[in-house]
Amino acid sequence: MKIIELWSDNFHEGDWACSNLENLHKTNGYTVRKTYQDGFLPVYEYVFPNETLQIKVYGSYKSWSPLPEAIADLISWGKPDFLAYDPENKKILFAVEETAAIPTGNQALQRCERLYGSSRANIPFWYLLAEYGTHKDGGLRRDSIWPTIMALKLSIKNKTPSLILHYADKENPEGYDFGKGVNALFFALHKMLENFVDGKKNLDDLGPVITDHYEDMFRFLKSQYKGIIDHLPGLEQFNIHELLNYHVSISTRSESISDLKFKAIYENLFHWPDTNSWYKNVRKRVGSSDLIKHDALAQEFEQFIDTGKCYVISSKAGSRPQKKSQVIDWIKKQNKSFDDAATKFKIKAKLDLKLEDFPASESGNLHVTTAKNILYLFDKFNDVKNIIYKIYPRVSGSLVDFDNNQKVMVYISNSLRPGRIFGDPFTGQISAYSTVFGKFDKNPRLIVAYFPHQSFSQFMDTNKKIVANKGFILLRELVDFVILGGGVIIRFKDDGRAEVL
């Protein structure tokens, strides 16, 4: 008997996965038996012609100790909904994230750190998303393009399949039984498990299946990108069939073309150019806009759009006002945390968040959003550096080791709640945006994150605690430096710990 452990975020998700595999297995004419170990642990036996595969479901990762090392390493980057683990060879076969969230705003990006973590570990990953959903205003919404672009870029970079599958359609938004996604997912997973039973390599004979998945990703991009941005760099210039073949052959390692060679062939594909080149391809420039809540650094970033040396790809961000009582509590905690850490690390800076700085909405709740944009693409780091030095002269001279001519992406998160930046949705956003907008490009962009309402203390080790959460781990790998409230800058040392400037 062959044995696989199916680990999941909870028993329901693990059982859901095994039930779908059971339905497909029975459709193929085979038998499945289900029992419960110790009265609660689902155990499935899938009978193949020459062998039986036992899959035992382990729900809630951290309820088990010790965790297999490969699983512990993977979930430190974010916990996928379920994964298949081979206990004999101590190897993860695949990982899957699925969500019933309505595809509005940044919903789809909230879990992209799981995609990133799996790809960097060379684990085939599927992200199952609703292509259509109904917003609370009654309108129909469609999924974001960013997870799909992220998955395509990571597939080439790490030579491992990273795949986005969609379910639902216009007539049946959020319907798991509509669209190709659910069936396509479990057809692929079943084939991988069959390979495992037969002693084959993980991705043997999966070329046609993965081709269908990548083809659907390109189909989605071509039909959806204009609903989000004016121009998608490179896609319109190339033969999709040729691109498709490259993604399949490189991700399955059936072709040995290097990441650099691919980028030389497709130099402009998903490569965000300088400002002048961008404006040549868009119908309408997005200019600067007023801030909702004042912030000096965000104001400088925003105004720089009008210089022609920085651009934003769209301007559709809104504001989600918070309850006054929560804002009061968070301000108090952030200010105290900052003051304590500034004293300890001898930082001559002040956070000084004030309630009156947060404007009231019509409902009486308070806005925490500063700029309406969360992403700025700068042509040169020198401009970003000079803006930072202008607003925070205390740090002048601290950023001299970066290339002044390197392009930069600046990401802003306005969250006020302590610790929030290390969790959803911000870890998913920074994973997606840094990958999509150039962290791993042939000529990579610098990635800068700005958290105007957060204390730097959250990045610093103490005698009682070593900072090692998934948000810290992701920022350490994906961001070149972080700017916190009060103009404190965090960089990461060679040993991975935070350094405060």
In a domain, 231, yes or no: yes
Q: Provide the domain count of the chain.
A: 2
- Contact (CB, 8 A) for 56 and 87: no
How far apart are the C-alpha atoms of 33 and 162, rounded to whole Å?
Answer: 31
List pLDDT tens digits, range 224-271: 998 889 899 988 767 778 889 899 999 998 776 777 788 788 888 999
Whose structure tokens read 């038998």? Answer: 31
User: Buried b / exposed e across 19-30, counting CB within 10 Å, b at 16+?
Assistant: ebbbebbeeeee
* pLDDT value at 107 more than 80: no
Mean pLDDT of 10-38: 96
Could you tell me the pTM of the whole model? 0.95
3-state secondary structure 474-492: HHHHHCCEEEEHHHCEEEE
pLDDT at site 103: 65
- DSSP H helical segments within 231-315, as ranges? 240-251, 259-265, 275-281, 296-304
Do 236 and 143 fall into the same domain?
yes
In a domain, 276, yes or no: no
Do 44 and 185 fall into the same domain?
yes
List pLDDT tens digits, range 199-211: 999 999 999 999 9
Do 131 and 69 fall into the same domain?
yes
Mean pLDDT for the chain?
Answer: 92
Do 211 and 316 fall into the same domain?
no
Q: Which of 265, 285, 304 is the last residue of a domain?
A: 265
Percent of the chain scored above 70 by pLDDT?
A: 97
Do 303 and 245 fall into the same domain?
no
In a domain, 189, yes or no: yes
* pLDDT value at 404 more than 80: yes
Q: Which of 282-291, 372-381, 435-444 has the lowest mean pLDDT?
A: 282-291
pLDDT at site 262: 81
For residue 169, give its domain range.
2-265
